[in-house]
Amino acid sequence: MIKAIAVDMDGTFLKTDKTYDEPRFDKIFQQLKTNDIKFIAASGNQYAKLKSIFGERDMYFVAENGAVIYEGETLYDHQAFDRKLYQDIVDYLNITRGMNHLIVCGLNSAYILKDNPESFKKDAHFYYRQLEEIDSLQDLPEDDYVKIAFNINRQTHPTLDEDLQKHFEGKLEFVSSGRDSIDIIIPGVTKGHALKRLLKIWDLEADALMAFGDANNDYDMLKLAKHSYVMENSDDKSLFDVANHVAPSNDQQGVLSVIESEVLNK
């Protein structure tokens, strides 16, 4: 019996225009609560961004690709980089490789450089509701740092993935939330890892979990869940191998359709 449902956001729960059918979801959400089924937004996004999508609903948030877990407005759990290691990675990207368009992500806020172009700032503000502009990436504010986000230019940095792995062997991992959008995360701290921790706390097995995703950072979440769905619109072929089912596309609100047909109407 399904007792928990985890959904990715962009390309999965949200339509291409970043909206969802709120009245339809409200009805579904109330039915899930009545049936004691937990609903989890599992995303690479910041917690504040997820809250802005769902409002005051009594649900769970797995944010920053699994590094941060909230129950409603209460911090449930988080895991942060060693501060020196984090600064070394930032310095390598910013100083050694000359990359300025970085979003350094802490528990309290995300941070970007003040002298970044306005177009970059606009995009960053869309995805990070708690965002501060700082003078230097070598003088980071006090925070617990959980992730570094950036877009790779494969023409100017064709070997960046390999170079980082070689320079920081075993000390970081990459996940992609789509195309050239890259997150550097703590090894093993993923959406799937966060969901395992929650299932253990709730005394549930993986066969009680339903999960939906469309990108590389959803892989281990889909591998974990017995009731796993890759979105029809996904460009990641590996997800079609690991997921047990295919859901209609995000623009067809496939997540809501599957929950209605496979959970609430059975």
The residues annotated as belonging to the active site are: 8
Residues in Cβ contact with 9 at an 8 Å cutoff, skipping those fewer than 6 apart: 41, 43, 45, 50, 53
Alpha carbon distance 56, 73 (integer Å): 8
End-to-end CA distance of the chain: 11
Alpha carbon distance 65, 177 (integer Å): 9
The sheet with strand 145-151 has its strands ordered as: 131-134, 110-113, 103-106, 145-151, 181-185, 173-178
Alpha carbon distance 233, 249 (integer Å): 5
Instruction: Label the pairing between strands 103-106 and 173-178.
Output: unpaired
| Residue type present at position 226 | K
Indicate the SS3 state at residue 251.
helix
Alpha carbon distance 112, 100 (integer Å): 9
Alpha carbon distance 197, 193 (integer Å): 6
